[in-house]
Copies of this chain bind each other. A is one copy, B any other.
Amino acid sequence: MSESETVEITGHLMDQGILSRVLDDIREYGGDYTIDRFDVGRETDDASHAVITVTTEDEEGLQRLLMRLQTRGVNMVDPGEAEVAAATMDGVFPDGFYSSTNLDTRVRIDGRWLNVGNPEMDCGLVLERNEHGAPHRVFTLPMSDVRAGMQVVCGASGVQVSIPRPAKAAGTFGFMESEVSSEKPQAVLVRQVAEGMREAKAAGKRVLWVGGPGVVHTGAAPAMVAMVNAGYVDVLFAGNALATHDIEAALYGTSLGIDLAMGSGVEHGHEHHIRALNTIRKEGSIAKAVENGVLTGGIMHALVTHDKEFVLVGSVRDDGPLPDVYTDVLEGQRAMRSHLTDVGFCLMVATMLHSVATGNILPASIPLVCVDINPATVTKLADRGSSQARGIVTDVGLFLEQLAVELVPDYRRA
């Protein structure tokens, strides 16, 4: 082993088990460490500060370990200057490119620190210079969007990240520790999510929902409609399925209404589904179907009526799909990114695919709650790097019902 670097981290290291994970990472990358200094907060609320020298076999391994450690909020003591190389092919980063985190990030170029405007994990950092050649801005860019000639940050030098303050300190929205469990007092959790949404709105931020078709299947569409009407749904990310099932329920109200009311599930193979798709395709878009009086109820109708945004991104299992659906997933991702502005709270309900997709592009600073009856969805989300994710394993239908009761004063179950 010959390459080493001294790094540091500050925060509630032990409360949150961060230091354990940092040391795990070092071992996992085949590195070694010496803890040079560890100032632990003496009192309950003090932050700790650790200085660690990490050693690896070669320089490449060191750079990769340093990038890995940055996902935990660990920075080099002496960050130096960022190195930049030009991409030589479209859609391909230069070798040794810096793989970004979703933490607040700044990059030192020509002796100046530039903040990265849109932190997103697993992207490259692209440097733009102004007409005088001075560093102008650094932004994250997904691999598929890079173009030959762009200047891309390489290695970990000159990059610094900062971890968000722990939720507890930051306000009331710190309801759950790291664990995912189905045995929590659910009524309290509902209230805390409601509080989180209210705080976001009070701060002038927007609330992002990510939903799966389970929202409709569990009978929660009326609750969600009430929350759209009350202004608690600013943006919806979903797939073809949520929108289609919602529209299906709205179009074939009587029959499907009975099914929903009687609790007998109706899935695929029913021509309701395919016929609903055909109907909206004929109109040209969901908005036009609303305008033309074809679609008169449900979640999608409420969103259109209140001028709320939605991004529907397709998947390989889709029928139809609805005309509003992005069938190209990269275009879908771009559309999702463009709707993240001013989002201050994110609620994910009953979808693993779109939750992970949203987790991939969401900055770590945005509070994120994931509700699913399947614990695996929440675990998956946290595993993939959305460490701020808080999970609630519960029934989606009852959860949204109660959330509507909390948020919408005159909401009554039909």
Tell me which of A78-86, A132-140, A270-278 binds B.
A270-278
A385 at the interface (CB under 8 A from B): yes
For residue A357, give the distance in angstroms from its CB to the closest CB of chain B: 4
Q: Is A356 an interface residue (CB 8 A)?
A: yes
Given contacts A42-B34, A182-B395, contact A176 B263 (CB under 8 A): yes
Stretch at the interface among A90-98, A288-296, A300-308: A90-98
Whole-angstrom distance between the Cβ of A184 and the nearest chain B Cβ: 5
Residues of B within 8 A of A321 (CB): 144
Does A267 have its Cβ within 8 Å of any Cβ on chain B?
yes
Residue pair A278, B97 in contact (C-beta under 8 Å): yes
Interface residue A41 (Cβ < 8 Å from any Cβ of B): yes
Distance in angstroms between the alpha carbons of A318 and B122 in the assembled complex: 11
| Neighbouring B residues of A397 by C-beta, 8 Å | 184-187, 394
Q: How close is A380's CB to chain B, nearest CB, in angstroms?
A: 8
**Does A320 interact with chain B (Cβ within 8 Å)?**
yes
- The answer to the question of A214 belonging to the interface, with a C-beta cut-off of 8 Å to chain B, is yes
Taking the nearest CB of chain B, how far is it from the CB of A86, in angstroms? 14
Q: Decide yes or no whether A68 CB sits under 8 A from chain B.
A: yes
Complex CA–CA separation, A261 to B68 (angstroms): 21
A165 within 8 A of B: no
Cβ-neighbour of A20 out of B20, B273, B376 (below 8 A): B20
Sample of 6 further A-B pairs with CB below 8 A, known A267-B383, A315-B357: A15-B23, A182-B395, A185-B263, A315-B316, A319-B360, A373-B394
